[in-house]
């Protein structure tokens, strides 16, 4: 028992020694690394309140060092406020401190409609906080998570300031995001000349033309889409339906013959096209079978029900035809 106590005492002493050595080193360098604890501090805000940051409050902290004399600092301040504003209610778990070396910060606030929630502007004209954090340039942003661990030290106001800071704030608050913070600065641009985008444009235009009853032009658009991506199931299915609409049943059958689809709705559309085309070709029994299968896979296919109605009408099964038409109309008009 005594031996255990001794071991424990030695361990604690060793830990204290290591910690004091570590802290001395930190103090000497006036800095810290990512992964270290955020330094605790206390400072006066511009409106005379004392802001104190202590560990174990279960809050994330963002400290932003700015110099109001610098244009880039003013822009950074605006961005920071925007980022915090976008957090909405989650912002309550984040304390933001803007430490300025000059009290002339009117611009920072007037550019926004009042500062966002939980933003405290501290005056650090004697560079005390600056020294404690080892800051050498502005803007510098230091972010710690709810466990008080520093997760980001970012100096400068570069092109990637907004995505990087937002990503680290999200990480600090434990919010889910698509990109890892270290990759948030990777540049992505919009391009509407990718094959996917061009294909989509042709399909959309075909739909507009179809609505105007200009089937041949719509068919030409979808054929352009298919030239871009011959394997596009969506384009093939659209084309098949259009051929049916235009009364070109043989062409519709040709298009879907070699088509392989996986989703339930696509399978239903494929059956619809086959059934629709067969109905036009006078193969009523085959068409009926295909269309019934289509409505099983997609009971909301108004066109399949309408085509079934036509088949029953042609077979003079008027009650069934009426029922099918009624179902189709109900789906469309509610």
Partner 1 sequence: MLDRVYKSAVLLICVLISNGFAVEKPTSLQKTCVTEECHAEYGKKAHVHGPVSLGDCTACHKPLIPEEHTWQFERKGRDLCEYCHLEQAAKKIVHEPLKTGDCMQCHDPHSSDNKFLIPEKTIAALCENCHKVTEGLSFLHGPTAVGECTVCHESHSSDHAGLLIAEHAELCFSCHVIMQDELKEYDFVHEPVKNDCIGCHDPHGAGNSKMVKNLAPFLCYTCHKDIQKIAENSTYQHSIVGDIDGCMHCHTPHASTVKFLLQKDAKSLCLTCHDKPQNLGQDEVLPAFTAELEGKKFLHGPVAENDCSGCHATHGSEYFRLLAKEYPPQFYAPFRKENYELCFGCHSEDLVLTKETSDLTDFRNGDLNLHYLHVNKERRGRTCRSCHATHASNLPKHIRESVPYGTWSLPIGFNKKSSGGSCTPGCHLPKDYDRKNPVDYSAWPAESK
Q: Residues 207, 234: contact at Cβ < 8 Å?
A: no
Q: Is 289 in the site for partner 1 (CB under 8 A)?
A: no
Binding to partner 1 (CB under 8 A) within 187-246 occurs at 187-192, 194, 196-197, 200-202, 204-205, 208-209, 212-214, 217, 220-221
| Identity of the residue, 216 or 254, whose beta carbon is nearer to partner 1 in the bound complex | 216
Residue closer to partner 1 (CB basis): 16 or 197: 197
Residues 55-114 that bind partner 1 (CB under 8 A): 67, 69-72, 101
Residue whose CB is less far from partner 1, 215 or 276 = 215
Out of 13, 19, 25, 296, point to the residue binding partner 1 (CB under 8 A).
25
Please give the residues from 157 up to 196 whose contact with partner 1 meets the rule CB under 8 A: 157-163, 185-192, 194, 196
Number of residues that bind partner 1 (CB under 8 A): 54
Please state, in angstroms and as integers, the Cα–Cα distance from residue 19 to each residue in 25, 29, 102, 124, following that order: 10, 15, 35, 28
Smallest gap from residue 70 Cβ to partner 1 (A): 6
What letter does residue 156 receive in the DSSP assignment?
S
For the purposes of burial, counting CB atoms within 10 Å of the CB of 259, is it exposed (0-12), middle (13-18) or buried (19 or more)? Answer: middle
CA–CA separation, 84 and 105 (whole Å): 18
Task: Determine if 131 is a binding residue for partner 1 (CB under 8 A).
Answer: yes
User: 61: closest CA among 160, 185, 175, 168?
Assistant: 168
Choice from 12, 21, 34, 137 touching partner 1 (CB under 8 A)? 137
Closer of 222 and 277 to partner 1 (Cβ): 222
From the list 127-135, 283-291, 292-300, 319-327, the region that binds partner 1 by CB under 8 A is 127-135
Nearer to partner 1, 103 or 282 (CB): 103
265, 297 contact by CB (below 8 A): yes
Q: Do the beta carbons of residue 127 and residue 105 sit within 8 Å?
A: no
- Choose the stretch contacting partner 1; rule: CB under 8 A; options: 90-98, 134-142, 260-268, 290-298: 134-142
End-to-end CA distance of the chain: 81
CA distance 251 to 82: 56
Integer Cα distance of 33 and 35 in angstroms? 6
Tell me the closest approach of the beta carbon of residue 221 to partner 1, in angstroms: 7
> Of 72 and 117, which has the nearer Cβ to partner 1?
72
Q: Residue 138 CB, nearest distance to partner 1 (Å)? A: 6
Helix (H, G, I), strand (E, B) or coil at 144: strand
Q: Which is nearer to partner 1, 200 or 289 (CB)?
A: 200
* Mode of pairing for the β-strands spanning 50-53 and 41-44: antiparallel
Task: Locate all alpha helices (DSSP H) within 1-144, ordered by sequence.
Answer: 2-29, 71-86, 106-110, 128-133
Strand arrangement, sheet containing 60-66: 119-123, 94-100, 60-66, 140-144, 150-155
Instruction: Decide if residue 333 touches partner 1 (CB under 8 A).
Output: no
Q: Of 14-22, 27-35, 56-64, 264-272, which segment contacts partner 1 by CB under 8 A?
A: 27-35
Cβ atoms of 240 and 274 within 8 Å: the answer is: no
- Closer residue to partner 1 in complex, CB, 207/289: 207
* Residues in touch with partner 1 (CB under 8 A): 25, 28-30, 67, 69-72, 101, 126-128, 130-132, 134, 136-138, 154-163, 185-192, 194, 196-197, 200-202, 204-205, 208-209, 212-214, 217, 220-221
């Amino acid at each position: 028992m005594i031996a255990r106590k001794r071991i424990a005492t030695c361990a604690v002493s060793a830990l204290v020694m290591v910690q004091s050595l570590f802290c001395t080193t930190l103090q000497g360098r006036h800095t810290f690394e990512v992964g270290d604890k955020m330094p605790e501090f206390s400072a006066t805000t511009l409106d005379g309140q004392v802001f104190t940051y202590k560990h174990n409050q279960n809050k994330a902290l963002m400290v932003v060092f700015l110099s109001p004399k610098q244009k880039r600092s003013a822009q950074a301040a605006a961005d920071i406020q925007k980022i915090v504003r976008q957090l909405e209610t989650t912002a309550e778990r984040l304390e933001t401190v803007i430490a300025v070396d000059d009290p002339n910060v009117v611009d920072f606030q007037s550019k926004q409609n009042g500062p966002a929630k939980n933003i405290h502007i501290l005056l650090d004209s004697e560079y005390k906080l600056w020294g404690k954090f080892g800051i050498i340039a502005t803007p510098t942003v230091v972010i710690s998570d709810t466990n008080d661990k520093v997760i980001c030290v970012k100096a400068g106001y570069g092109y990637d300031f907004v995505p990087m800071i937002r990503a680290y704030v999200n990480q600090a608050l434990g919010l889910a995001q698509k990109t890892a913070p270290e990759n948030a600065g990777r540049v992505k641009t919009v391009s509407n000349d990718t094959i996917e985008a061009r294909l989509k444009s042709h399909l959309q235009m075909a739909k507009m033309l179809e609505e105007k009853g200009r089937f041949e032009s719509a068919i030409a658009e979808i054929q352009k889409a298919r030239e871009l991506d011959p394997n596009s199931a969506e384009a093939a299915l659209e084309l098949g339906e259009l051929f049916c609409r235009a009364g070109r049943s043989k062409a519709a059958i040709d298009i879907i013959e070699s088509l392989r689809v996986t989703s339930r709705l696509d399978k239903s559309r494929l059956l619809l096209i086959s059934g629709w085309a067969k109905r036009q070709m006078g193969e009523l029994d085959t068409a009926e079978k295909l269309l019934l299968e289509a409505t099983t896979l997609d009971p909301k296919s108004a066109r399949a029900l309408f085509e079934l109605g036509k088949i029953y009408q042609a077979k003079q099964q008027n009650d069934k035809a009426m029922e099918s038409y009624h179902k189709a109309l109900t789906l469309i008009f509610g």
